[in-house]
Amino acid sequence: MATLGLSEQEKQAVAAFRSEVVEPSQTKLVLVDFWAEWCQPCKQLSPIIEKIAAEYADRGVLLVKINVDENRFIASQFRVQSIPTVYAIFQGQPIADLSQARTEGQYRQMLDQILPQLPIESEAGQLAQDLAPLLAMGEEVLASGDAGRALSIFSQIGEMDPDNAEALGGQIRALAALGHMEEAEALIAALPPELAKEAAIERGRAAIALARSATPGVDIAPLQARIAADPADYEALFELSSAQMAAGNRDAAADALLAIIAGERDWSEGKARNQLLQLFEVVGLEDPWVAAQRRRLSAILFS
């Protein structure tokens, strides 16, 4: 905003705007709420937008409220025709008009769409960057079969970031791998509703279900003998897959389930396919191993 030809009062308004909005917006997303004392919708919106700004503060969101009666010049620069008017400003430029939002859910949806597209400097972003190697280590350790050590790693991450869905999901899967189902389920039950819906938590639920269906300590030799005598003994194949899952041998478990699907894809109302998909979810849908098994499954289903 140029100040040439402005009155002293307007120059002061521009200076304040630069200090409160433009400068912070170089590294943060600034929500500018144009309001007035006489505006009843503004009063209704105020607690909502203040709550959202506080909730998203660690993600680099800052709220600045501008009274249009006291800052007519600034309001005119933004062509404010009605209030409340809310703009999202980044690096000194309005990048989104949030004026249509009236509920917490609408604001969350808009901010969740905007923030990932911006190079925002935030506490949450820095923390996520710091924790990424630890999360990768936890996943690697859990995949190697050391559920106890993986639980320790994920728990430490949880202490640093209590609402980290990936760490919580890792704890749940590690507990399931250790056979501590009640503890894993209690951890899920204690989560806030929004966090409980995260994909990482769903992956944990799948791990619990899979662990409950697995059969530990089974002597697989008799099962293998039954299958050798009758390759269509799908019950034996399914029991073998459960035993292999309990032993941590996901390759053998997948082989047994795929053998059932290849022989009779709808056996026991698709029990083998459902079990295989559950295994995919636990391992992680983006995992290369899952991609390879999906190709095997597709080859069977579409051959």
Q: Supply the residues annotated as catalytic.
A: 39, 42
Tokens 């309990």, residue located: 246
The Cα 299–Cα 291 span in angstroms is: 12
Tokens 């969101």, residue located: 61
Half-sphere CA count of 122, side-chain side, radius 13 A = 20
End-to-end CA distance of the chain: 66
The Cα 170–Cα 189 span in angstroms is: 15
Counting every residue written for the chain, the total comes to 303
CA-angle at 208, arms to 204 and 209, nearest 5°: 115
Name which of 154, 126, 129 is nearest 139 in CA terms: 154
The Cα 179–Cα 234 span in angstroms is: 26
Eight-state DSSP code of residue 83 = S
- Asked if 201 and 184 touch (Cβ cutoff 8 Å), the reply is no
CA 255 to chain centre: 31
Name which of 58, 79, 59 is nearest 68 in CA terms: 79
Tokens 């899967």, residue located: 173
